[in-house]
Chain A
């Protein structure tokens, strides 16, 4: 961790501004309009035993996944009974939520098969225990796969068919930095229902028509919350945010991420930043917003099929063209590409960063590369070069 210098300490109010700035370019009007602000309606209260009834019902009507603890980490597991093992108040799971909607391997299309079999709709899934960062990643994937001239029927159908019940984070993981990405450790939108732990049970926010239907169909399980419970949640949320801010204080930047990246786009420091990267792509596999994929063709049932698997821009052949040309032959270029996609292409094309601050990439990296540190070092390198050679630094800017 870095020691805070005096100047950064003094720059703290600006940092808040920078945070606000980060969300504004990140969130253009369309997103804000489409979402239902959770704070708009008063939440409901559900007791522990009533929540269990609700989950039991969802487990009958759909496949229910919720976080549970294996060793030190939280993983999603299917629950059919025995709800004791569900952990709702932890931080995020190891797996990214994208796995449920954009599978690591799935058939995109069958073709030229003699008798095209109609596949029935997959059984609906209920995910309980998603976090604010997970919801943000779904928001991005919705834009990628659900918008544009061509939409993806698989993804759109699975989003429509499934239910997401999120929860506040009562704890943060070491690698969590959603606050630097303009999020809070508690969901504000993007869920069907959200649960906030309070004494005796949970406050329930309704975030979608699907969520509303579920609540209205089980009215007896919910009751109005007490003033005390509302206050309890307010305090818990403020505390969680304050703790996370403190945790990431040293990594806060004076400039928005996109600006730091663009200013350093051609800086020689990338060679050093990528230094320990081995190009294994673990960061992309666990990243909840990484969505690049490879399509391959194969025979199937007397016909053929197109299958997709997750791909990674760290692989040497990712951008290679037919003639053998490769826009990014060096690992350091591919390393940088990940940042360019997430912090420049993504805000420009989807109105939000391709990073939720979940920190899974930090946890997964065998070389110990920390995305927060990369930005910190990139910003520091800019500062240094500005102090030393202002003219050259200006030239190396975009």
Chain B
């Protein structure tokens, strides 16, 4: 008998953190531990309402709970934002392919995030920092629309003084509290201090940001094979059957969500 891949596992909402006006992070405790690798995603069901894909933002070494950061943008995420600690949701996963950390070993890892796209990168960075000595250098470049829309603010602050990390932050539009760089994320990509022969770039963010960041990274000297993109499409079934997330010759849900730019560069409307 084949196991039914559509049956979700029960999970309790343990903690809810308001990250920004539109983003909440939910710590979920599944009935059985759900082990994932950074970059893989899960489908979260609000019972009777709907199901959406999220890449966990928590460390894959954290086995008991899994965290997802959810931007309120539609029907199901609206329902998620109405959840309270103790609410019951469903989870399916892990699904898809993770970041190939073994391939990053010994290299400089240049991480670029935009907006809520920092979520999977947080999981990646926590995994990288778990074995920081395994990588030659770890960088983070993060841009958000405004200071208020930055997520994981306490963590971002802690990372600024973490000697294992080289970080630079920016916002599109500053305010009175903001002392850092102002400008879109590509404005902090003009100088990339890596040895391109031994470096990889990892990006996640909205399509428009991915388009320009990819162009900047290519121009700077990263090979298409060394640029890893977390792609978003409408991953519904999550197991390569329902057809919604096709991108070129791939299904994002089973062949991704992590792809190299080399895999995708011929896809028309890649960053739509």
Contact (Cβ within 8 A) A149 B7: no
Contact (Cβ within 8 A) B233 A319: yes
**Using Cβ atoms and an 8 Å threshold, which residues of chain A touch B3?**
153
Q: How far is the CA of A321 from the CA of B117 in the complex (A)?
A: 14
* Known contacts A294-B236, A299-B48, A324-B73; is-contact A313 B243 (Cβ 8 Å): yes
Dominant secondary structure at the B interface: loop
Contact (Cβ within 8 A) B242 A293: yes
Contact of A148 among B47, B49, B240, B242 (CB under 8 A): B240
Closest chain A CB from B71 CB (angstroms): 7
Closest chain A CB from B167 CB (angstroms): 25
**Using Cβ atoms and an 8 Å threshold, which residues of chain A touch B88?**
112
Contact (Cβ within 8 A) A296 B244: no
Q: Mark B81-113, 1 if CB is under 8 A from A, else 0.
A: 000000010100000000000000000000000
**Using Cβ atoms and an 8 Å threshold, which residues of chain B touch A297?**
45-51
Q: Which residue of B lies closest to A146 (CB)?
A: B2
Contact (Cβ within 8 A) B242 A111: no
Contact (Cβ within 8 A) B254 A153: no
Contact (Cβ within 8 A) B6 A108: yes
Q: Could you say which of B13-21, B124-132, B264-272 contacts chain A?
A: B264-272
**Using Cβ atoms and an 8 Å threshold, which residues of chain A touch B248?**
345
Q: Is B77 an interface residue (CB 8 A)?
A: yes
Q: How far is the CA of A231 from the CA of B42 in the complex (A)?
A: 59
Contact (Cβ within 8 A) A341 B73: no
Q: Is B145 an interface residue (CB 8 A)?
A: no
Contact (Cβ within 8 A) A109 B6: yes
* Known contacts A109-B6, A153-B3, A328-B272; is-contact A294 B242 (Cβ 8 Å): yes
Q: Is A292 an interface residue (CB 8 A)?
A: yes
Closest chain A CB from B81 CB (angstroms): 13
Interface centre among A145, A156, A319, A327, by most B CB within 10 Å? A327
**Using Cβ atoms and an 8 Å threshold, which residues of chain A touch B236?**
294-295
Q: How far is the CA of A304 from the CA of B7 in the complex (A)?
A: 10
Closest chain A CB from B207 CB (angstroms): 6
Contact (Cβ within 8 A) B207 A325: yes
Q: Is B137 an interface residue (CB 8 A)?
A: no
Contact (Cβ within 8 A) B71 A322: yes
Contact (Cβ within 8 A) B249 A321: no
Q: What class of interface size applies to chain A in its complex with B?
A: 35 or more
Q: Is A131 an interface residue (CB 8 A)?
A: no
Contact of B242 among A153, A311, A333 (CB under 8 A): A311
Residues of chain B from 215 to 248 with CB closer than 8 A to chain A in the complex: 232-234, 236-237, 239-248
Q: How far is the CA of A322 from the CA of B22 in the complex (A)?
A: 13
Contact (Cβ within 8 A) B242 A150: no
* Known contacts A321-B233, A323-B206; is-contact A311 B243 (Cβ 8 Å): yes
Q: How far is the CA of A151 from the CA of B239 in the complex (A)?
A: 9
Residues of chain A from 280 to 318 with CB closer than 8 A to chain B in the complex: 291-299, 304, 306, 308, 311, 313, 318
Residues of chain B from 180 to 194 with CB closer than 8 A to chain A in the complex: none
**Using Cβ atoms and an 8 Å threshold, which residues of chain A touch B71?**
322-323
Q: How far is the CA of A147 from the CA of B137 in the complex (A)?
A: 41
Contact (Cβ within 8 A) B249 A304: no
Contact (Cβ within 8 A) A295 B6: yes
Contact of B47 among A153, A291, A304 (CB under 8 A): A304
Q: How far is the CA of A344 from the CA of B248 in the complex (A)?
A: 9
Q: How far is the CA of A376 from the CA of B215 in the complex (A)?
A: 37
Interface centre among A320, A321, A328, A344, by most B CB within 10 Å? A321
**Using Cβ atoms and an 8 Å threshold, which residues of chain A touch B48?**
297-299, 304
Q: Which residue of B lies closest to A333 (CB)?
A: B269
Q: How far is the CA of A360 from the CA of B245 in the complex (A)?
A: 26
Q: Mark B61-72, 1 if CB is under 8 A from A, else 0.
A: 000000000010
Residues of chain B from 116 to 153 with CB closer than 8 A to chain A in the complex: none
Contact of A265 among B8, B49, B52, B268 (CB under 8 A): B268
**Using Cβ atoms and an 8 Å threshold, which residues of chain A touch B2?**
151-153, 156
Q: How far is the CA of A304 from the CA of B237 in the complex (A)?
A: 17
Q: Mark B28-47, 1 if CB is under 8 A from A, else 0.
A: 00000000000000000111
Contact (Cβ within 8 A) A348 B242: no
Given contacts A111-B47, A297-B49, 15 further A-B contacts (CB under 8 A): A110-B7, A112-B10, A150-B5, A294-B236, A295-B6, A306-B51, A318-B234, A319-B245, A319-B246, A323-B206, A327-B233, A327-B247, A327-B272, A328-B272, A341-B246
Task: Give the 6 A-B CB pairs with smallest separation, nearest first.
Answer: A292-B243, A150-B239, A327-B272, A109-B6, A108-B6, A153-B2
